[in-house]
Amino acid sequence: MSEPTEFTLAEARDAVRAKKISSADLTKAFLSAVESARALNAFVTETPERALDMAKESDARIARDEARPLEGLPLAIKDLFCTKGVRTTAGSHILGNFVPPYESTVTQNLWDAGAVMLGKTNMDEFAMGSSNETSHFKPVINPWRARNSNQNLVPGGSSGGSAAAVSGSLCLAATGTDTGGSIRQPAAVAGIVGMKPTYGRCSRWGIVAFASSLDQAGPMTRTVRDAAILLRHMASVDEKDSTSVDLPVPDYEATLGSGVKGLRIGIPTEYRIDGAPPEIDALWAKGAEWLKAQGAEIIEVSLPHTKYALPAYYIVAPAEASSNLARYDGVRYGHRAAGTQDLTELYEKSRAEGFGPEVRRRILIGTYVLSAGYYDAYYLRAQKIRTLIKRDFEQAFEACDVLLTPATPGPAFALGEKSNNPISMYLNDVFTVTVNLAGLPAISVPAGLTANGLPLGLQIIGKAFDEATVLRAGRSIEVAANFSAKPQKWWTA
């Protein structure tokens, strides 16, 4: 038997169910891995006592033959999901001491399925970032390093702690959220699988809101099978989120191995960008060859408005964020500035002290584009462009079943490398953000290494609510890529 911390979620599920390992022993193995990996800074809050209590309960259920689908399986939870009685910070100073009196629907679904919580993972502040460097709790370090280098790299973002925790074998799987690429981009640069389901598939209730029309929760895992398993138990219709959809959640795992024979794979011309490293294009071409060799048909398609997606996103997302983050007022919860004389000063100082620079910048952009006289020129125009982007996808999907694209424009980069130029940081999401604007499902699958040994991912984009086909195609990429590289555990030295 391999090290329990190296199990996939599926392997651990089968081993626990077959009583080859107890949930308590599995949980202890992960808690010890978490403890010895503090150099990665993947967790904001570790919850070992709760984990052991949950594992004990799971072992009792297994002994009674009452195991639930994820019984006894230790997971990490992005610190954007409210967890009852466990501090939830959203990576922000303003929520640094917030202890929710309620549980998010997604995490409640996971606990109801028997999963065990190891702790809350670090993230960019309010999920605003692509490198985890905007976290109030210091950046996360990517478990991966370039060959013959000891330079620390970013794990991507915003779900950087979850990506590092899965990649570094600190948990079986983790939850993430994706507003412009925050699951798929860190997954790609940390060598793991990350999936954003269709908007509405998972309830947003109890997830600290960033941009409500874009935010969606999803799984971050070691394999495509694990993503299929976890997504099924995260997704649900929820009367507490009117945008959650009332559709049956299929058994994604059951159809995973159906292959891509006869499937039409679209290659969007506009995703070839000037200045992209040749390794990205080469991997993309290889991905198309892999799928073709398994019987898929490769078709060139056009998504003409692609280049406008990122700038449209940087109107829509900050606008929604400026509204959502208006709730942090220093009165009801969160940080409150000391020594203020009146209510306006209390608001202004609490928010200035509580929000970091990137969040302040986005709130100001959002406030500006929504302010009187500018609404039509910015926000309304961006929402019209969103319609055009969605229409592009609908037209492409008349000719194909899924799309294949690179996941990121490059591998993990060094800390500080892009933090002085917001736009160069924003460009990390150039291949992922279109999907959020159109509300579609997409998965990033590790597919290869750069010449200096850093992971790269390929992305499959599907039709709305067709996660099953996305997972099937993702599985076909996974089989062909046979990606088995793992980061050296330099952090335990």
Partner 1 sequence: MSVDKATVRRIAKLARIALPEERVEPMMGELNGILGWIEQLQEVNVEGVEPMTSVVAQELRMRDDVVTTGGDAAAIVANAPRSEDNFFVVPKVLE
Enumerate residues 6+ apart whose C-beta is below 8 A from 377.
none
For residue 182, indicate whether it is catalytic: yes
Q: Which member of 61, 286, 360, 486 binds partner 1 (CB under 8 A)? A: 360
Dihedral sign for Cα 17, 235, 316, 401, please: positive
CB-neighbour burial class of residue 186 (10 A; exposed 0-12, middle 13-18, buried 19+): buried
Q: Which is nearer to partner 1, 151 or 420 (CB)?
A: 420
Q: Does 378 bind partner 1 (CB under 8 A)?
A: yes
Contact between 371 and partner 1 (CB under 8 A)? yes
Give how many residues touch partner 1 by CB under 8 A. Answer: 70
Question: Which residue is catalytic, options 78, 120, 196, 418?
Answer: 78
Q: Which helix (H) or strand (E) holds 218?
A: strand 217-221
- Catalytic residue from among 22, 23, 104, 182: 182
Give CA separation, 201 vs 12, 105, 198, 355, 404, in Å. Answer: 26, 12, 6, 30, 22
Q: Is 395 in the site for partner 1 (CB under 8 A)?
A: no
Measured from the Cβ of residue 57, the count of other Cβ atoms closer than 10 Å reads 16
Output 206 or 330, the one with its CB closest to partner 1: 330
* Pairwise CA distance, residues 432 & 435, whole Å: 6
Catalytic residue among 58, 130, 135, 158: 158
Contact 172, 46 (CB under 8 A): no
Residue linked to tokens 């990606």: 483
With binding defined as CB under 8 A, does residue 382 bind partner 1?
yes
Active site residue 158: yes
Question: Could you give the string, one character per residue 200-239, with x where binding to partner 1 holds by CB under 8 A and - elsewhere?
Answer: x------------xx------------------------x
> Interacting stretch for partner 1, rule CB under 8 A, among 380-388, 443-451, 472-480, 482-490?
380-388
Residue 217 is encoded by which pair of tokens?
A: 């929760």
Dig out the tokens for 192 from the structure.
Answer: 């793991």
Residues 448-467 that bind partner 1 (CB under 8 A): 464
- Residue 364 as a binder of partner 1 (CB under 8 A): the answer is yes
Contact flag: residue 323 with partner 1 (CB under 8 A)? no
252/314 with CB nearer partner 1 = 314
CB distance 229 to 8 below 8 Å = no
> How far is Cα 75 from Cα 77, in angstroms, rounded to an integer?
7
Rounded to whole angstroms, the Cα distance separating 44 from 37 reads: 12
> What residue type is 110 in one-letter code?
L
Rounded to the nearest whole angstrom, what is the least distance from the CB of residue 10 to partner 1 in the complex?
A: 30
Q: Would you count residue 199 as binding partner 1 (CB under 8 A)? A: yes
Q: How far is CA 486 from CA 1, 169, 190, 246, 446, in A?
A: 18, 10, 10, 39, 11
Contacting residue, 205, 284, 355, 413, with partner 1 by CB under 8 A? 355
Smallest gap from Cβ 312 to partner 1, in A, equals 6
Kindly tell me which of 17 and 307 has the beta carbon lying closer to partner 1: 307
Is 27 or 88 the residue whose CB approaches partner 1 more closely? 88
| Between 264 and 361, CB nearer to partner 1 | 361
Q: Which residues contact 135 (CB under 8 A, 6 or more apart)?
A: 44, 91, 122, 123, 124, 125, 129, 160
Q: Which of 18, 101, 150, 248 binds partner 1 (CB under 8 A)?
A: 101
* Residue 244 per-residue DSSP state: S
DSSP code for 209: P
CA distance 43 to 46: 6
Binding partner 1 (rule: CB under 8 A), the pick from 45, 98, 264, 466 is 98
Of residues 276-315, which lie at the interface with partner 1 (CB under 8 A)? 305, 307-308, 311-312, 314-315
Q: What one-letter code names the amino acid at 78?
A: K
The minimum distance between CB 174 and partner 1, in angstroms, equals 25
**Closest of 389, 462, 482, 487 to residue 199, by C-alpha:** 462
When the beta carbons of 110 and 382 are compared against partner 1, the nearer one is 382
Please choose, out of 13-21, 74-82, 266-274, 383-391, the segment that lies near partner 1 by the rule CB under 8 A. Answer: 383-391
Nearer to partner 1, 180 or 334 (CB): 334
375 lies in the binding site for partner 1 (CB under 8 A): no
Cβ atoms within 10 Å, residue 281: 14
Would you tell me how many other CB atoms lie within 10 Å of the CB of residue 38?
11
Interface residues with partner 1 (CB under 8 A) are: 97-99, 101, 198-200, 213-214, 239, 242-243, 245-246, 305, 307-308, 311-312, 314-315, 322, 326, 329-336, 340-349, 351-352, 355, 360-361, 363-365, 367-368, 371, 374, 377-378, 380-388, 390, 422-423, 438-439, 464
Active site residues: 78, 158, 182
